[in-house]
Amino acid sequence: MCTYNTEWAQIRGSSGKGRDGWMPLTTATVYFDHPVHAPADHTLNIDFANPDAGPSARIAVELTADAARELVAAIERALGNVPAELLTQ
């Protein structure tokens, strides 16, 4: 069953490495749906993109729910270990 729940985030100042090398990223679209490639019935899908650069300026990620939760926890741990003055850039 698809939820059609989709979240968007502005991620200006970010970059990602795609097929043609590094590119600026400006948006992230996050949704839970059927994956295209991952061997699971449903995954948390994240599309990192720069819409102004065309459809090829996109990096897609498909994560199982457990993997997505582990990633969120790892991100929180990593950010929690950074001095506050470095987080305001």
What tens digit of pLDDT does each residue of 13-47 get?
A: 999 998 889 999 999 999 999 999 999 999 999 99
What tens digit of pLDDT does each residue of 46-76 get?
A: 999 999 999 889 999 999 999 999 999 999 9
Q: By the 8 A CB rule, do 53 and 25 touch? A: no
Record the pTM.
Answer: 0.87
Helix, strand or coil, per DSSP, at residue 86: helix
Domain boundaries, given as residue ranges, for the chain: 6-64
pLDDT value, residue 40: 93
Rounded Cα distance, 25 and 28, in Å: 8
pLDDT value, residue 42: 92
User: What are the C-alpha distances in Å from 25 to residues 3, 36, 69?
Assistant: 26, 22, 23
Rounded Cα distance, 71 and 45, in Å: 13
User: What are the C-alpha distances in Å from 44 to residues 19, 32, 52, 81?
Assistant: 22, 4, 24, 26
